[in-house]
Structure 1
Amino acid sequence: MTYASDKMGTSLAARQAEPDFSATYTLVTDCSSGLCIATVVDGPAPSNPTIPQPIRYTWDGARWQYSYNWQWDCFLGDGAPRVYAPARSRVFYAPDDTGSLFGTWHTEILSGPCRGTVTMPVAAYPV
């Protein structure tokens, strides 16, 4: 679950209304190399095709993390042309004692009219 309604940051995009998003994903975890990696193997594709696939979270001893570079789609209003800008995102999920995960999705939009930061709380719940 991404809590887009709780966005904050310095970007114009952080102030734009957006609904929360949830979906069901299947992840497979492999720790055979000594580093634990959880790979998304099933679930809806991202709406932005520039997000690298598959998504792979790495365990750092306290939380799952994923960093990636992509192109932010800056919304400038109905009928306005799309403006894409380079962006860097980092996602962190830390487990609690119920098996749920809570964290943050932080993006730096590097140029264009949406330049700045967007941060949203995220959560994942076992099904």
Structure 2
Amino acid sequence: MLARRAHHALTAAAVVAAAAVCGAATAAAAPPDWNGRYTVVTFASQKIGTSIATRQPEPDFSAQYTFSTSCVGTCVATASDGPAPSNPTIPQPTRYTWDGRQWIFNYNWQWECFRGEGLPREYAAARSLVFYAPTADGSMYGTWRTEILDGVCKGTVVMPVAAYPV
């Protein structure tokens, strides 16, 4: 009986590993093409990490952007025709680089740390890495990971993100 359970556990692990490899191969084979109108969602309500900012309630937020891809050596998808971010230190326009599997935006900025009602917000140096991996239905899913380098909110904040064709 124990041998049978071990076999089933190994078989399940092999299936999961094979699915992960197949999924990665499919994503790697996807053409680097991010064009058209998309609703981009940041699931801020699901943030995790080591920063105190992860314990501060925040709603999910979304906006629509038009993406256009240009490939001259490296493929770059640029987001335009959408609202500017509420934090002016986020580089604009956002430009995502294709790495063969996913679209990546890596940037430095100033995190706006909420310190409590009636207290001024603190701005701290931060660096973020955002990625979106394409799926077969044209949607993209990924993660926005920020490392806040100093101040009260020092630590990491990680949030799921998605982009859906409109």
Task: Name the TM tier (shorter chain).
Answer: over 0.9
Which of 91, 97, 100 is the aligned partner of 1:52?
91
Mapped partners of 2:91, 2:127: distance in 1? 11
Could you tell me which amino acid in structure 2 is paired with residue 14 of structure 1? T
2:155 aligned with 1:120: no
2:123 aligned with 1:84: yes
Mapped partners of 2:56, 2:80: distance in 1? 31
Deviations 1:78-116 (A, max 9, x none): 211110000000001001111000000000000000000
Q: Which residue of 1 aligns with 2:145?
A: 106
2:82 aligned with 1:43: yes
Mapped partners of 2:121, 2:67: distance in 1? 32
Question: Structure 1: which 5+ residue stretches go unaligned?
Answer: none
Q: Percent same amino acid among aligned pairs? A: 69
Q: Given the two structures, how large is their TM-score scaled by the length of structure 1? A: 0.97
The secondary structure found in structure 2 opposite 1:50 is coil
The secondary structure found in structure 2 opposite 1:5 is helix
Specify which structure has the higher proportion of helix.
2
Could you tell me which amino acid in structure 1 is paired with residue 161 of structure 2? V
Q: Which residue of 2 aligns with 1:75?
A: 114
Q: Which residue of 1 aligns with 2:53?
A: 13
Q: How many residues align?
A: 126
Larger radius of gyration: 2
Over aligned residues, Cα RMSD in angstroms? Answer: 0.6
State the 4+ residue runs in structure 1 displaced beyond 4 angstroms: none
- The alpha-carbon deviation at position 34 of structure 1 amounts to 2.0
Question: Structure 2: which 5+ residue stretches go unaligned?
Answer: 1-40
Which of 111, 135, 138 is the aligned partner of 1:96?
135
